[in-house]
Structure 1
């Protein structure tokens, strides 16, 4: 008996993290919906930070969904999805790249969330804030240029 015949069925163990990640995606998507519904009931100045938090939760949901479907495609079988460009994973490097893009967007949303609550008091605060915005823009440009 060949060793591959013994190891091949072990790929089904990957269903455990796949299901866990899908549940995580559902959890974050549900909470993003709750945050959005809460924000609709508030005035605009109070709703904006809540909506930014909802975007953050939606991006986390996307990370969990991409990772779970990527693991499924890599270890179990290929999926026939209409959203091939977003969810098709050919290798671990491909999965890492897709996750990296979403994580960068999460960091952008976190920066925006902090920046909207920022109250500069000195000219140095303004300068540091402008530097942070410039670094964020440069990071996004570099991430896009890499593609």
Structure 2
């Protein structure tokens, strides 16, 4: 039995983390749904923070889904899905790039979660908040260039 056959068989070990990541994706997607339903049932004032939290959980679910399916495609078998533009992964660098873009979006959502509770006390607070928004815009611009 050659080393190539052993290496070919060992690749199936990657099914374990893929299953864990897919379960994590379903977990966060379910909690995003619960958060959205909870927010919408509380009225308009309470809905916005809950919906921002739901978006955060949905993006986290997307990270787990993209990473899990990307590992599956890299190590086990190519996926034949109509979502090629989202899930097409040719290398670990490609997977890292896709995850980086989603993580930047998670950071944007987290920033706006904190901005909902923002209560400025002086002019410098407004200036720093504007700087944070500008940095987020720059991060989005850089991630969109790839």
Matches within 5 A, 1:90-129: 90-129=90-129
Deviation at 1:2, TM superposition (A): 2.1
Residue of structure 2 in register with 1:18 after alignment:
18
Structure 2 residue 87 is matched with structure 1 residue 84? no
Question: What is the CA RMSD across the aligned residues, in angstroms?
Answer: 0.9
Displacement of 1:103 after TM fit?
0.3
| 4+ aligned runs moved over 2 Å, structure 1 | none
Matching residue of 1:72? 72
What are structure 1's unaligned runs of at least 5 residues? none
- When normalised by structure 2's length, the TM-score is 0.97
The C-alpha deviation readout for 1:73-118, integer Å capped at 9, x for no partner, is 0000101001111011111011001100100000000001111110
Q: Distance in 2 between matches of 1:111 and 1:16?
A: 33
Deviation per CA, 1:51-94, whole angstroms, max 9, x where unpaired?
00000000000000000000000000101001111011111011
Q: Distance in 2 between matches of 1:12 and 1:142?
A: 36
1-side partners of 2:16 and 2:90: how far apart? 21
1:143 aligns with 143
* Alpha-carbon shift at residue 3 of structure 1 (Å): 1.2
Q: CA deviation at 1:43?
A: 2.0
Gaps of at least 5 residues in structure 2 are none
Measured in 1, the distance between the counterparts of 2:138 and 2:38 equals 34
Deviation at 1:143, TM superposition (A): 1.9
Give TM-score, length-normalised by structure 1.
0.96
Deviation at 1:46, TM superposition (A): 1.1
State the alpha-carbon separation in 1 of the partners of residues 114 and 85 from structure 2: 32
State the number of aligned residues: 146
